[in-house]
Amino acid sequence: MKLLWLQAAGCGGCTQSLLGAEARDGVLAQFAENGLEFMLHPGLSEATGDEALCILEAAATGTLPFDVLCVEGALLRGPEGSGRFQILSGTGRPVIEWVRELARRAPVVVAIGTCSAFGGLVAAGDNPAEACGLQFDGDQPGGLLGPDFRSGSGMPVINVAGCPTHPGWIVDTLIALALGALGPADLDAWQRPRFYTEQLVHHGCPRNEFYEFKASALRPSDLGCLMENLGCKGTQASADCNLRLWHGVGSCVRGGFPCIACTEPDFDEPGHPFLETPKIAGIPTGLPVDMPKAWFVALAALAKSAMPERVRENAHSDHPLIAPQPRKRGRK
């Protein structure tokens, strides 16, 4: 399966994330083992300069077949729809023109990261660059290619969202495509692969005991749950970050940072500081998905009343102060 990878407006963090994928001999060797080949990638393929431009032109005209178009970064439509805020070096043409032409030829189109999926951080604020995703503009269908776009295989854009996206999500998506094991039914409502969005970041969180007793952190260095005070959206964000650890060792919450729901549209403009939890009458406005507010309030009160001293003390420390004690068993 031949991959054509373009970098639009972004930081390149998704490529950096991909390079850290768990693989015996590196991600490129893993791709080769599964029949995936980078025809063109700005940082990873051998072709550069005029040779790279020839590949791009041949792919756009249809004389050089390819299987998957991957786009990393938001698409800049400005100024006034011309796309001339971002010109592909050496071509004199806007990146969005190249993306439109290549997408018409591509059997499959994959958005790598939240920027190319929804616009992401590049589209935040007043968005003077008119940045958007491939098939979404924030949480609204449309984007550069329009809501009705379908690739040559009949698929919509596959959004491997995340900022940056998890290397395992990229690798598994591309390998599933190579095996013919990813179709429209395998995508969720935001066109993300369901194999990672049918989990919540909350699942597998190492702070779950503190969450269960509503033992909340007060400072970023505390061990307690980050939801009540420090802006964590792990109970609302669709991703398996704490079940499939980043590079085998960590996740945001394991590093002491709250989940900011970077796989979701418009995560970049939450309407409040990332490290604060908005509340009404002392109750967080962002509650766990599918949980009525009255239930949450009642369960929170009950959980706090049953909180063990060990959990209460440890929650407000940067290291465990009290270890779990062995249970004393009576003689039979």
23 pLDDT above the threshold of 80: no
Query: Mean pLDDT, to the nearest integer, of 125-129?
Result: 95
Task: Check residue 41 and give its pLDDT.
Answer: 93
Residues 212-263 have pLDDT tens digits of 999 999 999 999 999 999 999 999 999 999 999 988 888 999 999 999 999 9
Nearest 5°: the CA angle 182, 185, 189 is 115
Q: Calculate the average pLDDT of the chain.
A: 93
Domain at 2-196: CATH architecture: 3-Layer(aba) Sandwich (3.40)
pTM: predicted TM-score of the whole model, two decimal places: 0.93
**Domain chopping of the chain, boundaries:** 2-196, 199-320
Strands (E), the chain: 2-7, 37-40, 68-72, 75-76, 87-88, 93-94, 108-112, 131-132, 136-137, 140-141, 158-160, 279-280, 283-284
Topology, domain 199-320: Cytochrome-c3 Hydrogenase; Chain A, domain 2 (4.10.480)
Beta-carbon neighbour count of residue 250 at 10 Å?
Answer: 12
Q: How many CA atoms lie within 13 A of 93 on its CB side?
A: 12
